[in-house]
Amino acid sequence: MNLRYDEVVRSGIAKQVAENIKSAILDGRLKIDERLPTEEDLARSFGISRPTVREALKRLAAQNLIHSRRGPLGGNFVMRPDPEGLSKAITGAATLLVGIGAFDIDEIITARLETETICCRLACENRSEEGLQAMAAEIALQRDQDISDEDFCASDVRFHRALVDSTGNGPLKLMMYIVIESFIPITNMIVFRVRERRQVVAFHQQLHQALSNRDVSEATAALTNLLAYMRDSYSAALDARGRRASEQAQS
């Protein structure tokens, strides 16, 4: 058995160094756009090798906490935290949890209903013409019977992303990133064979019209009906899958 114990040790040290620098960024000791010490200086200060420093810097770059610049004035600089980049990291884990069945459909629908209802209320207050146009463009695309199931599902995600963007609330958009980018695609993968596109489009049109009229009650009703339909479609899809599995077992 050929175990590389030295790599485990270096990896552990690199992680500690990365966490040390990360803490300095998050608590403000390192400012946005501030240049980090050179690899050589960091290695000397931490008492470690330059390869270990490079590994720590790679970890920080992967978390969108630093970025590098080339040239005489180059180096590694502290980045302004990117909400979308941070959300993507969380979304990957959430998608995995949804994919392995850690959440059942009732939990997912309830989470979407509660959070998107808030979005409907704020979108009615803050929506712009640009946001309405973005949603209208997706509805027009969804009406095209020739687009693939994959394109329809992608448009569905963009429609709800435009709804969330219309709230004008940064923290809420950050929170909703997981809901939109993980819950909706996974659900769509299961229901696309049994749902009727025209029914989904009708709910989207109703929701769009309500937002245009700034009618919170109508927007909430459209969302509630849409999610109830998705729950029913999900159950129908699972039933169909069960029947196919039973038929295959008997053949």
Tell me the Cα Rg of the chain.
Answer: 24
What mean pLDDT comes out for the span 223-234? 93
> pLDDT band at 217, cuts 50/70/90?
very high
| First CA to last CA distance, the chain | 46
Domain 10-78 has CATH 1.10.10.10: yes
Contact status, residue 154 vs residue 112, Cβ threshold 8 Å: no
What mean pLDDT comes out for the span 12-30? 86
Residue 123: closest CA among 214, 1, 31, 13: 214
> pLDDT band at 91, cuts 50/70/90?
low
71 phi, psi to nearest 5 deg: 100, 180
Helix and strand tally (H, E) in the chain? 11, 2
Place of tokens 């429609």: 159
Q: Could you tell me which residue, 14 or 93, shows the higher pLDDT?
A: 14
Residue 226 CA: distances (Å) to CA of 40, 100, 183, 208: 58, 24, 15, 13
- Delimiting residues of CATH 1.20.120.530 domain(s) in the chain: 83-250
Contact status, residue 203 vs residue 226, Cβ threshold 8 Å: yes
Q: Of the ranges 39-53, 72-86, 163-177, 213-227, which one carries the lowest mean pLDDT score?
A: 72-86
Residues 6 or more apart whose CB falls under 8 angstroms from that of 130 comprise none
Q: SS in 3 state form for 136-175?
A: HHHHHHHCCCCCCHHHHHHHHHHHHHHHHHCCCCHHHHHH
125-184 per-position pLDDT tens digit: 999 999 999 999 999 999 999 999 999 999 999 999 999 999 999 889 888 887 888 888
**What are the tokens at 42?**
């960091």
> pLDDT band at 87, cuts 50/70/90?
low
Q: Could you tell me which residue, 239 or 226, shows the higher pLDDT?
A: 226
Per-residue pLDDT at 243 exceeds 60: yes
Per-residue pLDDT at 8 exceeds 50: no
Spatial distance between the Cα atoms of 56 and 54, rounded to a whole number of angstroms: 5
Collapsing DSSP to helix, strand or coil, 30 comes out as coil
What mean pLDDT comes out for the span 118-123? 97
pLDDT for residue 11: 56
**What are the tokens at 202?**
């009708």
Spatial distance between the Cα atoms of 64 and 66, rounded to a whole number of angstroms: 6
- Delimiting residues of CATH 1.10.10.10 domain(s) in the chain: 10-78
pLDDT, averaged across the chain: 86
Contact status, residue 87 vs residue 46, Cβ threshold 8 Å: no
Spatial distance between the Cα atoms of 60 and 4, rounded to a whole number of angstroms: 24
Per-residue pLDDT at 74 exceeds 50: yes
> pLDDT band at 95, cuts 50/70/90?
low
> pLDDT band at 1, cuts 50/70/90?
very low
Fold of 83-250: Four Helix Bundle (Hemerythrin (Met), subunit A) (1.20.120)
Contact status, residue 129 vs residue 216, Cβ threshold 8 Å: no
Residue 214 CA: distances (Å) to CA of 92, 101, 209, 211, 247: 34, 37, 8, 5, 50
What mean pLDDT comes out for the span 188-207? 92
Task: Report percent pLDDT > 70 for the chain.
Answer: 87
The answer, as to whether pTM is greater than 0.75, is: no
What mean pLDDT comes out for the span 2-7? 46
What mean pLDDT comes out for the span 64-76? 85
